[in-house]
Amino acid sequence: MTKFIIRRLLGLLPLLFGVLLISFILMKWAPGGPQAALAGNKSITQAEITQWLRRWCLQRETTPISVLQEFGGWLGVLNCDKDGLQAFTSDQGGLNFLPRALGGGDNGILHGDLGLGIRAGRPVLSLITERMPATLVLTTTALILWVSVAILAGLYAAVNRYSLFDQGLTFFSYVFYSLPTFWLGLMLIFAFAVRLDLLPTSGMITVRQWSPFNTPQYWAQFWNLDDPRHGPLAAIVDVGRHLILPVITLVAVNIAADSRFVRASMLEALGQDYVRTARAKGLASRVVVGKHAFRNAMLPVVTNVALEIPFLFSGAIVTETIFTWPGMGRLFIESVNARDYFVLMGLFLVTAVIVLIANLAADVLYAIVDPRIRYD
């Protein structure tokens, strides 16, 4: 299995490279550029800009060659202080893409440098890591809710085919599938936050009670067991209350689509010969449905869910905007508006890696769920 995972990982690397290259070209192709964005930030001096452009191989004019050079600099394959073929070697004389200890350079993402956020004037890595927990809280909760509800609803609908529940599920999945998700978010805000006043309209924490999420002060309050208003339990309840509406907004469409998918897959499995055999043997209905049919019905569902995980991050952009959730989605919107190239490339990198890991996880899960697959 380890060998299989490693082989698949190596297969995914070219795909990651392609994703990053195309994102980079798209961004460089657009009018304007990092130079213009840098010039707009008054707190950076001209000397710093020149040094900065030099370090990242950023050229005055964008040509097809220069885009590749800049991409090489961003990756850390090229050493921007040298010209021509010499650029592949570091100041230590070794190949530039190698780690520093092996004689490589120190620039680019291969050496852990994601560049500088032009707007914030801070390293991209810290900008992203401080926003990541909020997004992960949102997306993992959403993922758990999505998978469990979709499977349970689809299963129940398949077993009780043409029941009221089944037909209701069909109706709702058609409706939800046709809605822009954020519209559902607006309606939920109106119903539960404005009219019924049960849940907060936006944000991740109650501002009057807690410091902003993921700051040192917040974690101090989080671990403060003496204050009855703070502490881990109060924190989880508080974030949980803020989570309900965004999570529903984020996954309503996925639940709608996948419960139908689970239902169809389950119905197909229930029609197979081995299910009839199992029933004929006199096995309990629970065993037939739960063990014989369910495991086989899950195969396509696993792949489908893993391939839809990217949409969770796309959805997070909108959901975080509606609910002013302090995550990567809003960082993305802010950075696009400010043309903050390095933050954007950093975000592309993070999401691409997550997507590819999800693909890999789908393969591995598939192997676990389906005993017929052998990876030797």
Partner 1 sequence: MADPIHTVDPAAQAGMAYPTAPLANVEQAEAAVAAGARPEDYEVALKSLNQWQLAWRRYRRHRLALVGAVILAIMAFLAIFGPIIWPYDPLDLHRIPGPQGIAPNLTEPFGTDNGGRSVFKLVVNGARLSMLIGMGTMAIAVTFGVAVGAISGYFGGLLDNVLMRFVDIMLTIPFLFVILVAARFFGAGDPIILIIIFGVLSWPGLARLVRALFLSLREQEFVQAARAVGVGHLRIAFRHMLPNAIGPIVVSATLLVANAIILEAFVSFLNFGLKSQDISWGNALARSQATLVLGNWWWPFFPGMAIALTVIAINFMGDGLRDALDPRARE
Which residues contact partner 1 (rule: CB under 8 A)? 14-15, 18-19, 22-23, 26-27, 30-32, 174-175, 177-180, 182-183, 186-187, 189-190, 193-195, 201, 310-311, 313-315, 317-318, 321-322, 332-333, 336-337, 339, 344, 347-348, 351-352, 355-356, 359
CB-wise, 35 or 89, nearer to partner 1? 35
CB-wise, 19 or 53, nearer to partner 1? 19
Place of tokens 């229930």: 270
CB-wise, 146 or 332, nearer to partner 1? 332
Residue 191's alpha-carbon distances to 24, 141, 188, 194, 206, in angstroms, are 42, 22, 5, 6, 20
Determine which helix (DSSP H) or strand (DSSP E) holds 195, and give its type and residue range.
Answer: none
Instruction: Report the candidate in 110, 64, 57, 108 with the shortest Cα–Cα distance to residue 84.
Output: 57
Residue 200's alpha-carbon distances to 134, 240, 323, in angstroms, are 17, 11, 9
* Nearest-approach distance from CB 119 to partner 1, in angstroms: 14
CB-wise, 169 or 189, nearer to partner 1? 189
Residue 338's alpha-carbon distances to 36, 61, 143, 302, 343, in angstroms, are 11, 21, 31, 38, 10
**Which pairs with CB-CB distance under 8 Å and at least 24 residues apart come from 133-137?**
133/213, 133/214, 134/204, 134/213, 134/214, 134/325, 134/326, 134/327, 134/328, 135/313, 135/316, 135/320, 135/325, 135/327, 135/328, 135/329, 137/204, 137/239, 137/243
* Nearest-approach distance from CB 182 to partner 1, in angstroms: 6
* Nearest-approach distance from CB 122 to partner 1, in angstroms: 21
CB-wise, 36 or 373, nearer to partner 1? 36
CB-wise, 12 or 151, nearer to partner 1? 12
* Nearest-approach distance from CB 168 to partner 1, in angstroms: 16
* Nearest-approach distance from CB 333 to partner 1, in angstroms: 7
* Nearest-approach distance from CB 359 to partner 1, in angstroms: 8
* Nearest-approach distance from CB 201 to partner 1, in angstroms: 6
CB-wise, 190 or 219, nearer to partner 1? 190
* Nearest-approach distance from CB 150 to partner 1, in angstroms: 19
Please state, in angstroms and rounded to a whole number, the distance separating the CA atoms of residues 22 and 7: 24
CB-wise, 253 or 298, nearer to partner 1? 253
Please state, in angstroms and rounded to a whole number, the distance separating the CA atoms of residues 331 and 329: 5
Start-end of H helices in 323-340: 328-337
Phi-psi region of 332 (alpha: psi -120 to 50; beta: other; left: phi over 0): alpha
- DSSP strands (E only) in 17-175: 116-117, 122-123
* Nearest-approach distance from CB 282 to partner 1, in angstroms: 37
Please state, in angstroms and rounded to a whole number, the distance separating the CA atoms of residues 304 and 175: 21
CB-wise, 278 or 358, nearer to partner 1? 358
